[in-house]
Amino acid sequence: GDGIEPHQALATALFDHAAALGDPQAQGQMGLRYSLGLQDARSWDKDGVVSFGEPDPDQAMLHYYFAATGGDALSRMVLGYRHMHGIGVPRSCWSAVAYYQQVAEQVASLATQPRGLPLIERIRLITASGHGARLDRQREVLQYYQYSADKGNVDAQTAVGQVLNFGTHGVERDHSAALHYLTRAAKSGDVDAMAHLGHMHANGFGTPQDYDAARKWFRLAADEGSASGHFGLGFMHLNGLGVSADADAAFKLIAKAANQGSADAAFYLGVMYERGLGRRPNKERALQYYGMAASANHALAMYNAAMLQLGGHGAARQCKPALALLKQLSERGPDAAALQRGHERFFNSQYSQALVHYLEAAEAGVEVAQANAAWLLHRGYVAPSGLAANATFALLLRSAEQGNVPSSVMVADAYLYGNGVEQDWTRAAAVYYDAYLERSPHAMWNLGYVHEFGIGVPKDLSLARRFYAMARHTTRDASVATMLA
C-alpha cells in the first residue's frame, strides 16, 4: 500500500515471480508466506488473509536462507530469531548473533543520522483499549501547551520546543518553530531550554550552525547544574568544535554528565575508556558505561556493549547478553517497523491490513507483534478460514516462549480445549502452573478449576480452594471470575 491501494493477493503472486528470479526481498516475503501457510495467492484477498493453509517449513527456510544471503534484513532477523530459539534450525547463540549483528550494525548506523530511528511503539492490543482516543487526546494536549506557550508559559515553551525539535507520534519535526519556543524559554531562565538550544546551534537545526552560540547556551545550562549542558561542553572539547580539542577537559565534563544520568554522556564515556581518550584504555570500564547507556535504550551503546561482550574483553566471551542486545537493537530499525504499521492500521479499523503487518513483524521475532497477531485472530477481528486456529496457537506459543505470561495462559487454554493443537489436559495444567509461578491470577484460577474437577491433574478440592483464594487476593478481576465459577 505504498502510494497505491494494497492488493495482497496480487502482491503474493508478484513476490513469487520475483523470488524465482532471485530478488532477496521477494524471497524473504515468500519465506514468510511458506512459514505461515499463505504461499497460495488464493489465501489472500485485496486487504489481507482469507485462509490459512498448511505451512511448508522446508520451503520457508530455503527462501529465508537465500534472502538473508542476498542481504534481506527481514530474513536475517527471522533466521537470527529461529537460531536463538531453535525453531526449525539448531539452537545456536553464535549463529543467531551472526544474523542479528548484520542488522544491528545497520540500525546503529541509522541512529547516527539526523532523522534517527523510526518510531516503533510497543503497544499491546490486549491492554490498548481506547489508545486511538488517547492519541487524539495527546494532540489536544499539545495544542493546549502550544496555546500556553504562545501566552508566555515558560514550561510550556520548553515542552513544545522539545516535541517540535524531535518529533513524536502524530507531530512532524519543525526545527524553526522549536527554535522559536526554546529561545523564548531559555531567555526566561529555563535550564532545559538552554541545553536544547546549545544542541540546536551545534547541529544547525532551525538555524545556521554556530559553535559560539552553542557553547554559550551549554555553558549557561552547565552553570545551573544541567547534565545536558555539561555533556554538550564536553562533546565540543572532545571533538574540537569551536574550541581546542582537549580530551582531559572533555572527560571531566562528560563524566560529570554521566554521573548525573545522561545516557549520551555514559555512551561517550564508554567510547573514551575504550579508545583511551583522556584516560588509559580500560575495556571493562567502557563496557560498564556502555551498559549504563544501553539500559536507557541508547542505540549505539547497545551495539558497542554487544561487541565488547562478544570480544570477551576482561572476561570470557558472553554470547547470550550480547545476543539480547543485538536483537533488541535490530527490533528498533526500519525492518521491524511493520509493528508500527500494524498499530496504525488497527486504530484506523483496518484489521485485515493490521494482521498482515503484525504477521511480518511476528516472523522476525518481535514478541509484541506475535501477541497482537494472535489476539486479532483469537478475538475475531479477522476471521480467516482453514488452519487459522493452528496459526493462532503457533503465534501464542512463540510469544509465550519469549516470556509473555498472558500468552502462556492462552497456550494452556488451547491445550485444555484442543484449539489449534491436539487436546492435552496434562500439558495444559503444566503450562498453567508455569504461568502461576509468574503470578498470573488467571492461571491461578484455572489451576483451581482443573484441580476441582481433576482435569489433567488429580482431583484435589483443598488445593483447588487454595488456588481460587490466591486468585481472589491477587486481583479484583480474578475475584469476579472466581465468584462466577
| 375-392 pLDDT per residue, tens | 999 999 999 999 999 999
**Cα distance between residue 3 and residue 24, in whole Å:** 22
Q: How confident is the model at residue 154 (pLDDT cuts 50, 70, 90)?
A: confident
Kindly tell me if the per-residue pLDDT of 248 is higher than 80: yes
Q: Spell out the residues 6+ positions from residue 348 whose beta carbon is closer than 8 angstroms to its own.
A: none
Mention the CATH class of domain 404-485: mainly alpha
Of 7-16, 35-44, 472-481, give the lowest mean pLDDT range: 472-481
Kindly tell me if the per-residue pLDDT of 33 is higher than 50: yes
Considering the chain, what is the average pLDDT of its residues?
A: 91
DSSP states of 262-290 as a string? Answer: -HHHHHHHHHHHHHTSSS---HHHHHHHH
Higher-pLDDT residue of 137 and 464 is: 464
97-135 per-residue burial string, b: 16 or more CB within 10 A, e: under 16: bbbbbbbbebbbebbeeeeebeebeebebbebeeeeeee
Cell of 304: 558497542
In percent, the amount of the chain with pLDDT more than 90 equals 79
Q: How confident is the model at residue 220 (pLDDT cuts 50, 70, 90)?
A: very high
Domain boundaries, the chain: 129-299, 404-485
DSSP states of 379-442 as a string? Answer: TTSS--EESHHHHHHHHHHHHHHTT-HHHHHHHHHHHHHTSSS---HHHHHHHHHHHHHTT-HH
**Cα distance between residue 353 and residue 336, in whole Å:** 16
Same fold, 129-299 and 404-485: yes
Superfamily of domain 129-299: Tetratricopeptide repeat domain (1.25.40.10)
- Give kind and range of the element (H or E) at residue 446: helix 441-453
**Cα distance between residue 264 and residue 255, in whole Å:** 11
pLDDT at position 423, please? 98
Within 137-176, strands assigned E span: none
Model pLDDT for residues 39-61, shown as the tens digit of each residue: 999 999 999 999 999 999 999 99
pLDDT at position 64, please? 98
**Cα distance between residue 288 and residue 301, in whole Å:** 10
| Long-range contacts from 405-411, C-beta under 8 angstroms, 24+ separation | 405/435, 405/438, 405/440, 405/443, 406/126, 406/371, 406/440, 406/442, 407/370, 407/371, 407/374, 408/434, 408/435, 408/438, 408/440, 408/443, 409/435, 409/440, 409/442, 409/443, 409/446, 410/374, 410/378
Kindly tell me if the per-residue pLDDT of 485 is higher than 50: no
Model pLDDT for residues 259-301, shown as the tens digit of each residue: 999 999 999 999 999 999 999 999 999 999 999 999 999 999 9
pLDDT at position 483, please? 44
Global model pTM greater than 0.85: yes
Kindly tell me if the per-residue pLDDT of 111 is higher than 70: yes
Kindly tell me if the per-residue pLDDT of 478 is higher than 50: no
